[in-house]
Amino acid sequence: MAYSRAAAIGFWTLLRRETGRFLVLWRQTVLPPILSSILYVLIFGYSLGSRIREIDGFAYTEFILPGLAMMGVMNAAYANSSSSLFMAKREYYLNDILIAPISYWETVLAFMAGAMLRGILVGLVILATGFVLADLPWAHPGYVAVFLALVSALLACLGLLMGMWAQSWDNIMLIVNFVITPLVFLGGVFYSIDMLPPFWKTLSHFNPLFYMINGIRYGVLGVEDASPLFSLLLTTVLTALAFAGTVALFRSGYRLKA
């Protein structure tokens, strides 16, 4: 009983730290991705929107907003967990966390939950902004909630994995610049894959981020380029694998010392 109480205190303390970390610096952690999404809407939405009138029965601006929200979720969740763990290693206070009476999976969960909160907050604010800028129907809110949670959890785990592996800030940005950003832009944020030639349309189905963008677009607009159920199952499996892998590496102590 004493250990359980101590573990609970440790978990909630770490979670409060991870949450407070980005809330205190909200001008740097929450506001920039929201402003970026608004700029995407103004630049791409209204410039290309004059040429691409509608996609799947929705105005171009309405069509791209769910994808922009998901892009904000991914970047925010990844940035929070990766930078937090990297700084914990660099400033040597990760050792204090590791010797605290808290299990490895609870430690990972606390880091992950803080990143999830940041990602979900960014995504919800972008969607709320979308309701002001466009007439979004909010077709399946349950799908929206589940995909926001799963995708933010997945990217939070990827951030922790990179935070463990990274030896410099350049390493942290490696996966963002060469994996996440290209796959997001090729995942149908600004277009429907039905607009692509057959080869590129087929190739898009091998992009896991396409299914995440497809899932939230189905939740908001009710339209899909792939099966929403398959998108949900794939995202769930990837998230579970990423969490299990992160806990396993924490338990092994992989690069947890600077």
Q: At what angle do helices 208-221 and 228-252 cross, to 10 degrees?
A: 130
Q: How many CA atoms lie within 13 A of 258 on its CB side?
A: 13
pLDDT of 4 > 80? The answer is no
How far apart (Å, rounded) are the C-alpha atoms in residues 238 and 77? 15
Residue scoring higher pLDDT (44 or 15): 15
Residues with Cβ within 8 Å of residue 25, at least 6 apart in sequence? none
Q: How confident is the model at residue 9 (pLDDT cuts 50, 70, 90)?
A: confident
3-state secondary structure of 59: strand
169-203 pLDDT, tens digit each = 888 988 888 899 899 989 999 889 988 999 989 99
Rounded CA-CA distance 68/36 in Å is 9
How far apart (Å, rounded) are the C-alpha atoms in residues 157 and 160? 5
Top pLDDT among 243 and 181 is at: 243
What pLDDT, in 10s, does the model give residues 212-229? 999 999 999 999 999 999
Predicted confidence (pLDDT) per residue in 146-155, tens digit: 999 999 999 9
pLDDT, one tens digit per residue, over 86-102 is: 999 988 888 888 888 88
Comparing 68-72, 135-139, 218-222, which segment has the lowest mean pLDDT? 135-139
By three-state DSSP, how is residue 150 classified?
helix
Cβ burial 68-77 (10 Å sphere, 16+ → b, else e): bbbbbbbbbb
> CA 81 to CA 228: how far, in whole Å?
28
Mean pLDDT of the chain, nearest integer: 89
Question: What are the structural domain ranges in the chain?
Answer: 2-252
State how far the Cα of 246 lies from the Cα of 241, in Å rounded to an integer: 8
- Decide if 76 contacts 114 (C-beta within 8 A): no
List the one residue out of 201, 248, 10, 39 whose CA is nearest residue 107.
10
Q: What's the mean pLDDT in 122-146? A: 89
> How open is the CA angle 65-225-49, to the nearest 5 degrees?
40
CB environment 157-175: b (16+ within 10 A), e (fewer): bbbbbbbbbbeeeeebbeb
